[in-house]
């Protein structure tokens, strides 16, 4: 066991708690064997596994990243398996639906998405989507994936096809949260987080994270209502659906790390600003007050998992290259900042925070 790994265990010692987010989760899956999913390089039908079924159309598949038939790149923060669907010529769209108990008052839905086009231009919309179900018929909406230009299907966008305050469905592709949600690269993994407030019948916040660069953008959503608009009145949703469509064959959508959790406090995040080499500022927010947090550093991102000790099973967003505990610091009131001198060897590296007790981890931030 390396000394740097031992240090990480020392930081976690005595916590005796699992990941803080796990207690809030209503449903989560990485489509892994440990989640009860059997996959293969050519694709194993998702229907009949972990409660998934096909409401209509054709199946989604559980696939291994290694040797997968579509050529999906490995998710930098994924495991060994993922789910994918290929839209055949309409109406043979690919769907995977699962029933679940949605949180009563608010929820955050999170999933990783990558898209491919295997046909010849022009392509056809819609590329795919993730939707709250039943749609229509509940407090529902669609997170829609489409091509800005079907004649040049080399980039895609993610919009919210939801409802206006008066209850009418939005026109076109709906709301684009910001420029970061369009011009998305093909065969590249992104994480989407959407906060849903069932009390006000709205989608209230959206985040996108490039899982290669770990850059995250978060914006408030305004006027993005669920079915029923500001008056609400629709039944509570009972499931969700992954979809890959298009009038022509060739649209392929991959999903991984799907999580639907009860709404809670703001996420535990960190940012690094400044100039490297030189003085940089590490800032954090969303931490539990009056705890300790370890500042972990690595030269690469990855999915290193702590193997033993009180934080065993906690997966980091860091790789193993030069992985070490840089320092420990108190969380204060839950937010704060600290200045440090960054040497040449840390420039371009990556930092993640872990707080104890609890072993909650922050996002991964890159040293400028």
pLDDT digits (tens, 9 = 90+) for 175-215: 999 999 999 999 999 999 999 999 899 999 999 999 999 88
Q: Mapping DSSP to helix (H, G, I), strand (E, B) and coil, where does residue 8 land?
A: helix
8 and 88 in a single domain? The answer is no
Question: Domain total for the chain?
Answer: 2
Q: What is the pLDDT of residue 120?
A: 94
Residue 189 lies in a domain: yes
Which residues, given as ranges, of the chain have pLDDT below 50? 1-25
pTM summary value: 0.68
Beta strands in 137-189 (DSSP E): 142-146, 155-161, 184-185
Residue 114 lies in a domain: yes
202 and 254 in a single domain? The answer is yes
Domain boundary at 262, 289, 321, which?
262
Nearest to 140 by CA among 10, 216, 241, 40: 241
61 and 176 in a single domain? The answer is yes
Q: What is the pLDDT of residue 266?
A: 66
- Whichever domain contains 78, its CATH number is 2.60.120
Residue 121 lies in a domain: yes
Structural domain span for residue 253: 31-262
Strand partners, 365: 351
280 and 195 in a single domain? The answer is no
Cα–Cα distance for residue pair 107/144, rounded to 1 Å? 19
Question: Token match 């790390």: residue?
Answer: 257
Q: With residue 3 as reference, give the H or E element that holds it.
A: helix 3-12
Phi, psi (degrees; rounded to nearest 5) at 326: -80, -45
Q: Mapping DSSP to helix (H, G, I), strand (E, B) and coil, where does residue 17 land?
A: coil
Residue 26 lies in a domain: no
Structure tokens at 120: 């010849």
Give ∠ CA 287-291-297 in degrees, rounded to 5.
70
Q: With residue 219 as reference, give the H or E element that holds it.
A: strand 215-220
The overall longest dimension of the chain from CA atoms, in Å, is: 61
The answer to whether 72 and 82 have CB atoms below 8 angstroms apart is yes
Residue 187 lies in a domain: yes
Structure tokens at 308: 């033993």
Q: What is the pLDDT of residue 264?
A: 59
16 and 104 in a single domain? The answer is no
- Whichever domain contains 328, its CATH number is 2.60.40
CA separation, residue 30 to residues 35, 88, 99, 326, 365 (Å): 7, 25, 17, 30, 23
CA 85, distance to chain mean position in Å, is 18
Domain boundary at 209, 240, 262, which?
262
Write the CB contacts of 319 (distance below 8 Å, at least 6 apart in sequence): 298, 299, 300, 301, 302, 303, 304
Cα–Cα distance for residue pair 116/297, rounded to 1 Å? 33
257 and 274 in a single domain? The answer is no
Nearest to 131 by CA among 256, 226, 53: 226
DSSP state letters, 47-102:
TTSTTEE-SSSB--EEEESTT-TT-PPPPTT--SEEEEEEE-STT--EEEEEE---
């Amino acid at each position: 066991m390396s000394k740097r790994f031992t240090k990480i265990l020392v930081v976690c010692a005595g916590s005796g708690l699992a990941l803080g987010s796990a207690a809030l989760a209503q449903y989560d899956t990485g489509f892994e064997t440990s989640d009860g999913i059997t996959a293969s390089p050519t694709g194993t039908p998702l229907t009949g596994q972990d409660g998934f079924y096909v409401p209509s159309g054709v199946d989604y598949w559980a696939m291994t990243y290694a040797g997968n038939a579509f050529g999906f790149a490995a998710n930098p923060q994924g495991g060994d398996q993922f789910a994918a669907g290929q839209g055949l010529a309409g109406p043979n769209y690919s769907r995977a639906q699962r029933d679940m108990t949605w949180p009563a008052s608010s929820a955050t839905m999170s999933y990783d998405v990558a898209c491919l086009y295997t046909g010849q231009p022009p392509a056809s919309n819609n590329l795919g989507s993730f939707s709250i179900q039943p749609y229509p018929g509940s407090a529902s909406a669609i997170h829609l994936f489409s091509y800005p230009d079907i004649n040049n299907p080399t980039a895609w966008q993610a919009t919210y096809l939801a409802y206006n305050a008066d209850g009418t469905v939005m026109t076109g592709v709906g709301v684009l949260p910001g420029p970061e949600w369009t011009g998305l690269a093909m065969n590249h993994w992104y994480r989407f987080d959407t906060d849903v407030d069932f009390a006000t019948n709205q989608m209230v916040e959206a985040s996108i994270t490039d899982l290669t660069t770990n850059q995250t953008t978060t914006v408030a959503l305004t006027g993005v209502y669920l079915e029923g608009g500001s008056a609400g009145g629709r039944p509570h949703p009972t499931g969700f659906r992954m979809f890959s469509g298009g009038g022509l064959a060739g649209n392929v959508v991959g999903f991984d790390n799907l999580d639907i959790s009860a709404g809670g406090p703001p996420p535990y995040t960190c940012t690094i600003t400044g100039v490297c080499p030189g003085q940089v500022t590490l800032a954090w927010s969303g931490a539990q007050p009056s705890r300790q947090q370890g500042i972990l550093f690595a030269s690469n991102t990855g999915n290193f998992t702590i193997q033993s000790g009180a934080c065993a099973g906690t997966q980091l967003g860091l790789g193993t290259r030069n992985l070490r505990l840089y320092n420990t610091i108190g969380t204060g009131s839950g937010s704060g900042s600290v200045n440090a001198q960054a040497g040449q060897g840390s420039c371009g590296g990556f930092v993640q925070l872990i707080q104890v007790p609890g072993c909650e981890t922050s996002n991964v931030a890159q040293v400028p």
